[in-house]
């Protein structure tokens, strides 16, 4: 039985129990009041939906209906009939309906392990309905629509947004991973899926960020997209992030009375909840066999004997490119120079997918230099320009990472492979003098710590990374972040129903 239907029946039975006490009180003293309350009882009876009830529950309920309308009202018999029906409903298993509304498949990993936990629960109906999104032009008008429904593997078992409506599905919990609604300058999900249109008094809406961040760097940028105002809960990767979001919300309250009223209306007192992120679950469980190399990747990552070359993953975030601009492009150029001269190495360059459209909109003067770097990467024999919708192939087949800020540096460190924080704006030294503390660096990497170019020099860190041998670790992923978030969602749905 749906949990919300069960709760509704139990609440109605509670009212009927109170009415029975009142009917007993007026049975012999006031026919007018007795008949009035009896009519209210019958109205409540008509409101109870017992379509999903068992045969025994139907029988118990019919017995109650017969007794309250008997010529001689017997409060004791009515109470016994109500008690039987209440107990039967109380013992019914509760089922929950959860709806996932992803929009970009590349961000599905931020919801995937929650979905897996929901699928494993026999008392849960889990639905994944990928929703469409639009590009925006310079004036903010919608242009091309994208629907990535075809990208999901068969075992996810998606349903179509064209054939199903959210209110018809009637979920108890909705999970989203897009915070922007209509506030993003470059893209927007379909307006009917904006968060304020999803929230409802009898459902829980939970926003799980599609990103995680390396928060040890004080320059990390923390912003809100807008969905955080409306969602019942926002899942935080850490206490640090929770404090940042709470501070941002507090600042908004002080700056605008209307915004203060909106925030207060949707505030449940515990909006930001620290439970990690499913993206960590995905990284911990990566296996190469799940991500076989395409032929064009093999040509660039394998040598003539089919042995894999030492491979570095280069990440370029939108944030760092907008902040550092030409300095970041120069850094990418330096890296390309190094790999062009080092055929024994391979490079996978995976920039943020929105870099080019964002540059065209916000700083188009950088486009020629950026496009030139992209073309150069594609044409080098040992370099891959990775614009696929899944970053995990690049992560699992690379041996080390270089980048600054963003989700990937935070996630890559969890692999316990060398994760290098680049220094932007300084001359890059690719020479190794061998003076670094190899054991000290190994300890840092094994503890999932980021190592920094500014502390050792890039040449030394590349040299160390080539020597580094990762200890094969058996990750304990029985209790995943996704499972904890799922359990929290069910608990929250129960509380809202009560």
Q: What is the pLDDT of residues 130-172, one digit of tens each?
A: 999 999 888 889 999 999 999 998 989 999 999 999 999 999 9
Asked whether 173 and 493 are in contact (CB, 8 A), the reply is yes
How far CA 402 is from CA of 105, 270, 335, in Å, comes to 24, 37, 10
CA distance 342 to 315: 19
pLDDT of residue 477: 44
Token pair, residue 100, equals 């996932």
How far CA 357 is from CA of 66, 106, 224, 292, 407, in Å, comes to 69, 17, 21, 30, 20
Locate 493 and state its tokens: 């749905």
Beta bridge partners, 135, equal 187
Q: What local confidence, expressed as pLDDT, does residue 479 receive?
A: 59
Alpha-carbon dihedral sign for residues 178, 182, 186, 187? positive
Nearest CA to 245 out of 265, 216, 215 is that of: 215
Contacts (Cβ under 8 Å, ≥6 apart) of 349: 314, 316, 332, 335, 377, 383, 384, 385, 386
Tokens of 441: 């660096």
- For 196-217, the pLDDT digits (tens) are 999 998 899 999 999 898 888 7
Residue with tokens 């699992």, as numbered in its chain? 396
Contacts of 474 (CB under 8 A, 6+ apart): none
219 and 405 in contact (C-beta within 8 Å)?
A: yes
Pair of tokens at residue 387: 């614009």
Q: List the chain residues with pLDDT less than 50.
A: 475-477
pLDDT of residue 473: 54
**What pLDDT is attached to residue 434?**
83
The count of C-alpha atoms lying within 13 angstroms of the C-alpha of 261, restricted to the half-sphere facing its C-beta, is: 2
Contact between 223 and 185 under an 8 Å Cβ cutoff? The reply is: no
Q: Nearest CA to 270 among 238, 235, 225, 241? A: 235
Residue 15 pLDDT: 93
Compute the distance between CA of residue 353 and CA of residue 389 in angstroms, rounded to an integer: 8
Q: 186 Cβ partners below 8 Å, 6+ apart?
A: 135, 136, 354, 357, 358, 361
Instruction: Please report the pLDDT score of residue 472 as a whole number.
Output: 59
Q: Residue ranges of the alpha helices (H) in 307-366? A: 318-324, 326-340, 355-362
Place of tokens 């150069």: 376
Are 252 and 226 spatial neighbours (Cβ–Cβ below 8 Å)? no
Distance separating the N- and C-terminal Cα atoms of the chain:
16
Decide if 78 contacts 68 (C-beta within 8 A): yes
Cβ atoms within 10 Å, residue 172? 25
Q: Summarize the chain as % helix, strand, coil (round to 5).
A: 50, 15, 35
- CA distances, 273 to each of 42, 280, 495 (Å): 43, 16, 16
Distance CA 407, CA 397 (A): 18
């Amino acid at each position: 039985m749906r949990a919300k239907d069960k709760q509704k029946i139990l609440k109605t039975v509670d009212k009927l129990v109170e009415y029975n006490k009142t009917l007993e009180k007026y049975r012999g003293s006031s026919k007018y009041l007795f008949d009035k309350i009896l009519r209210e009882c019958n109205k409540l009876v008509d409101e109870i939906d017992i379509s999903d009830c068992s045969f025994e529950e139907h029988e118990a309920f019919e017995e109650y209906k017969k007794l309250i309308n008997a010529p001689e009202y017997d409060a004791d018999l009515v109470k016994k009939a109500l008690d039987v029906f209440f107990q039967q409903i109380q013992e019914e298993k509760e089922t929950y309906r959860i709806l996932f509304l992803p929009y970009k498949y590349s961000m599905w990993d931020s919801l995937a392990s929650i979905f897996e936990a929901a699928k494993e629960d026999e008392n849960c109906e889990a639905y994944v309905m990928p929703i469409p999104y639009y590009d925006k032009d310079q004036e903010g008008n919608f242009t091309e629509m994208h629907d990535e429904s075809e990208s999901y593997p068969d075992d996810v078992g998606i349903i179509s947004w064209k054939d199903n409506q959210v209110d018809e599905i009637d979920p108890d919990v909705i999970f989203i991973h897009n915070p922007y609604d209509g506030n993003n300058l470059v893209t927007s999900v379909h307006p009917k899926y904006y968060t304020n249109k999803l929230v409802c008094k009898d459902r829980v809406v939970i926003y799980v960020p599609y990103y995680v961040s390396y928060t040890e760097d004080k320059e990390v940028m923390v912003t809100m997209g807008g969905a955080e105002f409306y969602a019942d809960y926002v899942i935080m990767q850490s206490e640090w992030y929770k404090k940042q979001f709470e501070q941002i919300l507090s600042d908004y309250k002080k700056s605008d009375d209307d915004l203060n009223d909106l925030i207060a209306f949707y505030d449940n007192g515990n909006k930001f909840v620290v439970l990690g992120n499913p993206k960590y679950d995905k990284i911990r469980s990566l296996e190469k066999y799940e991500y076989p190399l395409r032929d064009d990747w093999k040509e660039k990552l394998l040598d003539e004997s089919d042995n894999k070359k030492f491979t570095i993953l280069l990440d370029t975030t939108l944030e760092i490119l907008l902040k550092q601009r030409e300095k970041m492009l120069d850094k990418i150029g330096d890296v390309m120079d190094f790999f062009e001269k080092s055929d024994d190495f391979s490079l996978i360059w995976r920039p943020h997918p929105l870099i080019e459209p964002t540059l065209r909109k916000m700083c188009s003067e950088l486009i020629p230099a950026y496009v030139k770097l992209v073309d150069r990467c594609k044409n080098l024999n040992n370099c891959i320009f990775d614009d696929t919708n899944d970053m995990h192939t690049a992560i699992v087949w690379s041996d080390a990472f270089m980048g600054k800020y963003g989700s990937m540096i935070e996630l890559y460190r969890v692999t316990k492979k060398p994760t290098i924080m680049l220094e932007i704006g300084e001359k890059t030294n690719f020479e190794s003098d061998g003076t670094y503390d190899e054991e000290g660096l190994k300890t840092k990497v094994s503890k999932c710590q980021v190592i920094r170019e500014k502390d050792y020099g890039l040449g030394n860190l590349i040299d160390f990374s080539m020597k580094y041998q990762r200890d094969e670790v058996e990750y304990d992923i029985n209790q995943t972040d996704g499972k904890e978030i799922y359990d929290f969602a069910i608990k929250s749905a129960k509380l809202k129903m009560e």
